[in-house]
Each structure stands twice: as structure tokens, then as C-alpha cells.
Chain A
Amino acid sequence: EDQVTQSPEALRLQEGESSSLNCSYTVSGLRGLFWYRQDPGKGPEFLFTLYSAGEEKEKERLKATLTKKESFLHITAPKPEDSATYLCAGLSGSARQLTFGSGTQLTVLP
């Protein structure tokens, strides 16, 4: 059974304090690892797709990386507007559906 685990569940950072969020996965024949951002009361917003180990993608203060067992979302010098819940999801080679983790709730304090 495919499984995606995110840690920590919640993270509080001071503005400018860089950190990383973890997404561990056991997804058979991974075809893609997705990161989403979700603000309260809104639907998830697509951020990145990673397809193979060693791949990296960046967007503003966010950088996503992928290994054979996990993905990291690095946040460099975060700002309060980066506060949100970050979700990762894996797409297996056999299924046509995403398996989501429970998310990491990030709070950046000014």
C-alpha cells in the first residue's frame, strides 16, 4: 500500500530562519512527487513536480529536492506570507491517483 508521511506536523519559524520540511514516501514505481501549498479556507495550490531522484526545483524562497526515499522542501529566509500548510503527494506507477501526506503547518513569525 502506498504511503506518504510528512514531518514535522507543525513548524514555527522566525522570519528569516531557514528550515526544511520532510516528506517520506513508499510509493510503488513512483511516477511523480508533488508539492502543494494550502492556505486556510482555500484549496491546495500546486507548487512543484519532481520526477526522479536528484532532481531539484526552485520557486522564490522554496526549493524542492527528491531522493529515492524522501523529498525535502527547503525554505530560505521565510517571510510571514509563507505561512501555510504544505502538502506532498506521490503518484505511483500503477495507480492513477495521488497519495497525500497529512501536511506540515508552517507558521512564520514576524
Chain B
Amino acid sequence: ETGVTQTPRHLVMGMTNKKSLKCEQHLGHNAMYWYKQSAKKPLELMFVYSLEERVENNSVPSRFSPECPNSSHLFLHLHTLQPEDSALYLCASSQDGQGNEQFFGPGTRLTVL
């Protein structure tokens, strides 16, 4: 595997389900990010981790819970989501946590019924 990988690529869940998104980076980077991309809207930064420590949390609802066990892996735990949470969730990584060149994974297309 190279670059940034995400699983699953597609996810359909009910409002009462609990699921997790996984991201893995193979670039030796020290920072990882979660973004939300909705149709016709700019990418929204959700969380930033630098050296496994969360450094940014852009007022994301608590039904989204990130986890970064090491610098190569990032998870987004989902529970009791709303239909408006349906979107493409993108993971990215960069050499540092300063926002510089970020490399993105292919995303997880999430649909909440």
C-alpha cells in the first residue's frame, strides 16, 4: 500500500448504528486530518492530530469521535448520526501539523438513513 488509504470506501448506516472509519498513511508523516466534504461546499476541517495529539477540533458534534493510536493510523468513530451527516469523509496527512502540503486518501462515502 502506498499513500493514504481509507476503509470502507462506502458506508450506509442507520441513525442508531455505531460504525468506525479507518485511515492509514504510508508516507512517514507526523500529522493526520479528518475533513468532511458535502456537495457544493468547501472542505470542512474536523480534526487535526500532530504526533498523535489532537491539536485542533473545529467544534464538531460529539457524535463524531476521533482516535489516533499512532502516527500512521486514524479512526473516526460514528454514533447516532443524522441524515445531514451524509457526506464524503476524507483523511489526509502531512509532514507536520502546520497545515502544509497535505496528501489525501480516496475518502469514505457515508450515507445516513
Contacts and interface: CB of A to CB of B under 8 A. Distances in A.
Interface of A: 4, 31-32, 34, 36, 41-46, 49, 87, 89, 91, 95-103
Contact of A49 (B4, B55, B101, B103): B101
Contacts, number: 59
Contacts of A98: 43, 45, 99, 102
B48 interface: yes
Given A44-B90, A102-B40, A102-B41, A97 B107 contact: no
**Most A CB within 10 A of own CB, among B40, B99, B105, B106:** B99
A100 B106 contact: no
Given A43-B107, A96-B48, A34 B90 contact: no
Interface in B73-105: 90, 92, 97-105
Nearest to A42: B106
Contact of B42 (A43, A96, A101): A101
A45 B101 CA distance: 10
A96 B102 contact: no
**Most A CB within 10 A of own CB, among B6, B42, B100, B105:** B42
B90 A97 contact: no
Given A34-B102, A46-B103, A97-B58, 18 more contacts: A32-B99, A32-B100, A34-B101, A43-B90, A43-B92, A43-B105, A43-B106, A44-B43, A46-B102, A46-B104, A91-B100, A97-B45, A98-B45, A98-B99, A98-B102, A101-B42, A102-B40, A103-B42
Contacts of B53: none
Interface string B1-26: 00010100000000000000000000
Given A96-B55, A96-B56, A96-B97, A45 B104 contact: yes
